[in-house]
Amino acid sequence: TELAWRFKKEGPFSGELTVKLAFSSMQGFLKELEDTNSQKEQIAKGLKVYNIEQPVYAELSEIKNRIEQLDEMWGMRKEWERQWDQWSVAKFRELDAEAMADDASKYRQRVRKIGRQIDGVWGVWTNLKDKVEEFIETLPLLQNLRDGSMRTRHWEALQ
């Protein structure tokens, strides 16, 4: 169908989109999907009159499934961005590096899980996976800098 083709081409798969634009795009496609399903039901009533079996529209089910996966993916990205914003404005001495590592590890697991479920490689998935992995790679540095043995002279040497 034309909707399926457009969804593959214009769906919110890109990691370059903002969360707001992605959710807006998904809402638009869901509305179109509902309209298409309503039309399908009307056609089914007419086909029933002539004892014609209604065709199966697998593409419509596929779009619905992809939108649900995208919703989960973009929801995770929204959570990650919110968490990142909290960490980035917190005072360095107040950061709990261990809790941050636990949170990042949970995000990593969730991102990997959905990565196994999606068809192909989505930009939003790759983007979030890379951000989480980069953050996890920097955590040892953060933990070392937060170490109680760091003295003023060490900080001065770093500057």
pLDDT in tens, 10-36: 999 999 999 999 999 999 999 999 999
What is the pTM for the complete model shown? 0.86
Q: Say what the alpha-carbon torsion angle 116, 120, 126, 128 is, to the nearest 10 degrees.
A: -50
Q: What is the mean pLDDT of the chain?
A: 90
Q: Which residues of 48-59 are buried (b: 16+ CB within 10 A; e: fewer)?
A: eeeeeeeeeeee
List Cβ neighbours of 114 (8 Å cut-off, separation of 6 or more): 69, 72, 73, 76, 125
Q: What percent of the chain shows pLDDT beyond 70?
A: 96
pLDDT at 116: 92
Give, to the nearest 10 degrees, the angle between helix 58-89 and helix 19-49.
160
Average pLDDT of 90-117? 92
Return d(Cα 118, Cα 47) in angstroms, integer: 35
151 has a pLDDT exceeding 70: no
Gap between the terminal Cα atoms of the chain: 61
pLDDT in tens, 56-99: 888 999 999 999 999 999 999 999 999 999 999 998 888 888 89
